[in-house]
Amino acid sequence: MIFQNPDFLWFLVVIPVLVFSHFVSLKFVRQKALKFANFPAIEYVTGRRILSKNYLLLVMRIVTLLLVILSASGMVVWYEGKGTNFDFVLAIDASGSMLAQDYQPNRLEAAKESALLFVDNLPQNTSVGVVSFAGVSFIKQRLTSDFSKVKKAVTNISIELVGGTAIGSAIITSVNLLANPERNKVVILLTDGQNNVGPAVEDAVNYAVENHVTINTIGIGTEEGGAFPEMNLSFVSKLDTKTLEIIANKTGGMFYRAENRTELEKAYKDIATAIKQKLPIYLSMPCLLMAMVLLIVEWVLVNTKYRTLP
């Protein structure tokens, strides 16, 4: 369970205030009513309570308030279900650090070859798009079920000259490619760095959740880093695993840490052959409708046997 607007959950502190005010108001009403009638004597004769504490109405008001808060907070429940029709976007980091040679021949080529194996494992009714990114993102191939075009787009990815790693931009661009609301929409984001330019990752993730897109993240790079023989340098990746985990968790995806080529290929294969996918249920509107129904029921009750005074 996740919340698209978690700041609204702070309004839950109002519930204890509601309970307290309920009992304070009952005490005030009772004192006022006793000026006009001897209610204890009436209760003794009739055998029933005249001034009810209205516990039912209190519970209904608490539940109504809770539903309104959950609706405003954008509650989303994820469940595992069988997926059939999928649209995928391969988002591959093409920044300069992907030339590091801790994978052979380098990170970028290893990522591309693993992505090609991923495409080979997909069913024929799947559509795939390709995005590369560095300081900005680039659409290499729009969604298509022609796998030959997808493979050509992946093969043609090269290091982009724009400095930086714009993970947020890559997510937004990938989500924009996934427009069909009737299909399961999945992004596979591969990077060896951390977001340092472009839109904030948090905003991009919220955009993905709003559009029902699942993001699987793959972190590539060894702890030792990789060398750049041409420059006689060794580069150690500053992989932001925490952010990649947050991206995956908030969108119902999986995070994979690929420290060697075998783990990289396995990550792609696991995603391609997954029988079950995490699917979202958006509960904002159902919660709001239930709250409205309870308000109507409460209005009916307070005008009948649950009114404050008989």
Domain regions of the chain by residue span: 2-74+284-302, 79-280
Stretches where the chain sits below pLDDT 70 are 26-54, 79-84, 222-238, 275-279, 303-310
Task: Quote the CATH superfamily of domain 79-280.
Answer: von Willebrand factor, type A domain (3.40.50.410)
pLDDT of residue 167: 95
pLDDT of residue 46: 46
The model scores a pTM over 0.85? no
Place of tokens 């801790």: 102
pLDDT of residue 45: 47
pLDDT of residue 68: 92
